[in-house]
């Protein structure tokens, strides 16, 4: 079975982009791969947050992932800081990457823009992400389109390390879905839907009320062309709706476009399809929020399984790079 690894930051509530771009594929992969899914809380430290909120957000995100269908019997779900090997290998990766290649990362440019103070961690976090992936001898990394550049960097670092210090890491590949790979903000369709957007109107959160979801789609920004084509460059708002409807109903966006001539019915049907997609997830999430013991137990088991793999790979990397073995 291929080994799969992916992670998600507890920087806010899970949204439709996270679900369609990544988490839905994780749920499918857990039955056909040896899958490791990680709530990457150390990555969340790279941007400022309310003191004391990170633990709560980590628990809530873990509950949301279980509600989406991750099954602790079928996959390994854990919290990054519970497996200290991530930080240790992160340092080896920092020393493998160059300043120039980190400076080229577009996510760093996006996230640092306009910030008063930018942490060194935000600059180096792709090296910790590389460590996260490489620690599990990962074959495939299911992610949204925005992560493609970071997975390319991970591959480069693995190949460089292997060439300098001998075969150490499996070189992973990204798996990116056809529809839903880049869900755009409903109010600013030229920007990806993101937890940290300044306004909520363009983001569909997993536990938004059905009436709120329908309203957000009704108010989605489109254009004045009055035609329905899947053309992300020319009609970004309309194309985003088509991609979401396609991803929610398992059809191709170009095919869905043929069903519509006006924007109103497209918005209404997309809103309804998303409400139906989220309904069972919301029910499970309500139950899990009232049962923190179940979430904690899943994370405890997951950390144990993850540590046993991570320890072996870190040991291999430390020996190959030449660190003195512990006796």
Cβ nearer to ligand AQP, comparing 82 with 318:
82
Give the residue at shortest CB distance from ligand AQP: 21
115 binds ligand AQP (CB under 6 A): no
Tell me how far apart the terminal alpha carbons of the chain are, to the nearest angstrom: 34
81 binds ligand AQP (CB under 6 A): no
Is 195 among the residues known to form the active site? yes
Binders in 140-169 for ligand AQP, by CB under 6 A: 143-144, 146-147
Is 216 among the residues known to form the active site? no
240 binds ligand AQP (CB under 6 A): no
| Secondary structure element (H or E) that encloses residue 175, with its range | strand 173-175
Q: What are the phi and psi torsion angles at 197 (to 5°)? A: -65, 155
Question: Which of 21, 72, 90, 232 forms a contact with ligand AQP (CB under 6 A)?
Answer: 21
68 binds ligand AQP (CB under 6 A): no
Is 111 among the residues known to form the active site? yes
How many chain residues are in contact with ligand AQP, going by CB under 6 A?
A: 19
CB 160 within 8 A of CB 317: no
**Which contacts (CB < 8 Å, 24+ apart) does range 218-223 have?**
218/267, 218/268, 218/271, 219/186, 219/187, 220/186, 220/187, 220/189, 220/267, 220/270, 221/186, 221/187, 221/188, 221/189, 222/263, 222/267
Taking the complex as a whole, how short is the minimal distance between the CB of residue 327 and ligand AQP, in angstroms? 39
Instruction: Look at residues 325, 326, 324, 306 and name the one whose alpha carbon lies nearest to residue 84.
Output: 306
Binders in 164-193 for ligand AQP, by CB under 6 A: 181-183, 192-193
Chain residues in the site for ligand AQP (CB under 6 A): 8-9, 11, 17-18, 21-22, 143-144, 146-147, 181-183, 192-196
């Amino acid at each position: 079975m291929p080994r799969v690894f992916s992670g998600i930051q507890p920087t806010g509530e899970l949204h439709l982009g996270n679900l369609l771009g990544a988490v839905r594929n994780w749920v499918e992969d857990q039955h056909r791969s040896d899958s490791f899914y990680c709530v990457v809380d150390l990555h969340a430290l790279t941007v400022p947050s309310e003191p004391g909120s990170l633990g709560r957000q980590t628990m809530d995100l873990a509950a949301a992932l279980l509600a989406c269908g991750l099954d602790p019997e079928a996959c390994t779900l854990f919290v990054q800081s519970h497996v200290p090997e991530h930080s240790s290998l992160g340092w080896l990766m920092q020393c493998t990457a160059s300043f120039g290649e980190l400076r080229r990362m577009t996510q760093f440019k996006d996230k640092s823009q306009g910030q008063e103070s930018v942490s060194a961690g935000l600059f180096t976090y792709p090296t910790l992400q590389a460590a996260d992936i490489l620690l599990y001898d990962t074959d495939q990394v299911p992610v949204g389109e925005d992560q493609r550049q970071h997975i390319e960097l991970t591959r480069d670092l693995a190949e460089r390390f292997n060439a300098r210090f001998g075969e150490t890491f499996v070189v992973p590949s990204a798996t990116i879905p056809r529809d839903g790979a880049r869900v755009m903000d409903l109010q600013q369709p030229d920007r990806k839907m993101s937890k940290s957007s300044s306004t909520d109107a363009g983001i569909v959160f997993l536990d938004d009320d059905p009436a709120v979801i329908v309203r957000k789609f009704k108010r989605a920004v489109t254009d004045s062309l009055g035609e329905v084509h899947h053309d992300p460059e020319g009609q970004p708002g309309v194309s985003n709706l088509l991609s979401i409807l396609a991803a929610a109903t398992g059809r191709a966006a170009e095919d869905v476009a043929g069903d519509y001539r006006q924007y109103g019915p497209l918005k209404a049907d997309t809103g309804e399809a998303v409400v139906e997609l989220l309904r069972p997830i919301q029910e499970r999430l309500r139950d899990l929020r009232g049962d923190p013991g179940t979430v904690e137990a899943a994370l405890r088991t997951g950390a144990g399984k993850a540590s046993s793999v991570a320890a072996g790979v870190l040991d291999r990397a430390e020996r190959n790079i030449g660190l003195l073995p512990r006796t």
